[in-house]
């Protein structure tokens, strides 16, 4: 099975930027596209940012236990479908998931070997500045995101790794190091190790 990397962070922490750079620098990584019942926004396309489906379709998938994790967020459902992992495994890719704390907890229950990474902003003040600089949200939404961030950050200890995103390049370097180190763990290397060991066995016989 593919390695699964969970990345969580409060909105505005720079997670999307870091994941984008990670995908460019590390081969054989695939970003997991979630299902949602909300409507597309702006230039979003079905199958690219999300798979957009109806509430009834989403519920049917819940009933068939097809989601690795799912949640109701402000009246809209979001979830990671098992098929995302199945396709990545079949194609020889590792899977990157951008999910929240609750989703990460569910997924770790289903896949205990998943590697979880939490990205922190340097401070509340810095996070607020980043949210305001995007010029996308109303004051009410900004305050709600800050409140959500405080709640999410309290769960950092549930994660295997914690990165403080002070500077993009350094944070990307750390993410690359985590993925590379995990790929070198013995149980992921077994398929490559066996042929090497066989060459030593053959040499002993000759």
| Chain segment 146-171, per-residue pLDDT in tens | 998 898 999 999 999 999 999 999 99
For the chain, which residues make up each domain, given as ranges? 4-205
pLDDT of 206 > 70? The answer is no
pLDDT of 75 > 90? The answer is no
Burial 58-95 (b: 16+ CB within 10 A, else e): beebeeeebbbbbbeeeeebbbbbeebbeebeeeebbb
Give the pLDDT confidence score for residue 137 in this predicted structure: 80
- Say which CATH class 4-205 falls into: alpha beta
- Model confidence at 188, pLDDT cuts 50, 70, 90, reads low
Most confident of 56-65, 94-103, 132-141: 56-65
């Amino acid at each position: 099975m593919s390695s699964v990397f969970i990345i969580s962070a409060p909105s505005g922490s720079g997670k999307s930027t870091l994941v984008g750079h990670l995908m460019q620098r590390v081969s054989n990584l695939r970003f997991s596209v979630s299902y949602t019942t909300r409507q597309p926004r702006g230039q979003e396309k079905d199958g690219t940012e999300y798979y957009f489906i109806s509430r009834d379709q989403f519920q049917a998938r819940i009933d068939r236990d097809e989601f690795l994790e799912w949640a109701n967020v402000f009246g809209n459902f979001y979830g990671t479908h098992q098929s995302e992992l199945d396709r990545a495994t079949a194609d020889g890719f590792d899977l990157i998931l951008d999910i929240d704390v609750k989703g990460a907890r569910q997924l770790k229950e289903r896949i205990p070997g998943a590697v979880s990474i939490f990205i922190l902003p340097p401070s509340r003040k810095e996070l607020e500045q980043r949210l305001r600089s995007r010029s996308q949200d109303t004051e009410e939404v900004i305050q709600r995101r800050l409140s959500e961030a405080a709640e999410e950050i309290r769960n950092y200890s549930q994660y295997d790794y914690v990165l403080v995103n002070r500077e993009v390049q350094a944070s990307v370097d750390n993410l690359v190091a985590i993925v590379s180190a995990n790929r070198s763990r013995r149980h992921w290397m077994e398929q490559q190790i066996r042929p090497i060991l066989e060459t030593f066995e053959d040499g002993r016989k000759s």
